[in-house]
Amino acid sequence: MIVPLALGSAGVVLSQIGCSTSGGENIDVTIVDFDGAGRKLGRAVHKKVVRSDGDWRRQLTPAQYWSARRGSTDTPFTGTYYQLETAGVFRCVCCGNALFSSSTKFDSGTGWPSFSAPVAAENIRTQTDNSLSMERVEVLCRLCDAHLGHVFDDGPPPTGLRYCINESALRFIPIPS
């Protein structure tokens, strides 16, 4: 069972996230930054977050590691985010990059958190996934390449998309009231 993650601080500052020196650390990535209250700050260039496998294992819980770093899939209907109706931002569990907003979250009936759009297109990337003897579109964090889930074309208007995301790859930050 996946349980909600505790946070020490609602504010996430991406520039304070350390990168390893195991290759790829000099790659610049442009994303859209958001503050701890979910306000868009604008486009910014960051160094790609690169860590060794051992560092990821130490930083993440086993469920987070297997989902975000190894591409595993959470068991549906075992988390809490798919039912969550609180206003906030869903960030990458690995690097803190803002990924999805509760304003685009919807109940897909699948048992996974589902969104009609990312919080900013620049903050994610997609690639073809041919695993499980089928072709799907994998969704990854642009800043650290964490596996987030998949996107399908059976979502609600206006996008018609359903970003089906693993809860263990996310950290929810409620918007202060």
pLDDT at 25: 63
pLDDT confidence band for 37 (50 / 70 / 90): confident
Residue type, 123: N
pLDDT at 26: 84
The per-residue pLDDT for 6 is: 34
Average pLDDT of the residues in 31-49: 95
Q: Which of 94, 95, 141, 164 is catalytic?
A: 164
Q: Give the pLDDT of residue 77.
A: 96
Reply yes or no on whether 164 is catalytic: yes
pLDDT, one tens digit per residue, over 4-21 is 333 333 333 333 333 333
Q: Is the pLDDT of residue 59 over 50?
A: yes
Domain extents for the chain? 14-174
**How do residues 91-137 score in pLDDT, each as one tens digit?**
999 999 999 999 999 999 999 999 999 999 999 999 999 988 889 99
Query: What pLDDT sits at residue 164?
Result: 98
- 3-state secondary structure (DSSP) of residue 139: strand
Q: Is the distance from CB of 110 to CB of 164 less than 8 angstroms?
A: yes
Angle at CA 60, nearest 5°, toward 102 and 141? 50
- For residue range 157-175, what is the model confidence (pLDDT) as tens digits? 999 999 999 999 999 999 9
Domain made up of 14-174: CATH architecture: Beta Complex (2.170)
Question: What proportion of the chain, given as a percentage, has pLDDT over 90?
Answer: 80
Largest CA distance in the chain: 46
Tokens of 103: 């304003």
21-30, 37-46, 102-111: least confidently modelled range: 21-30
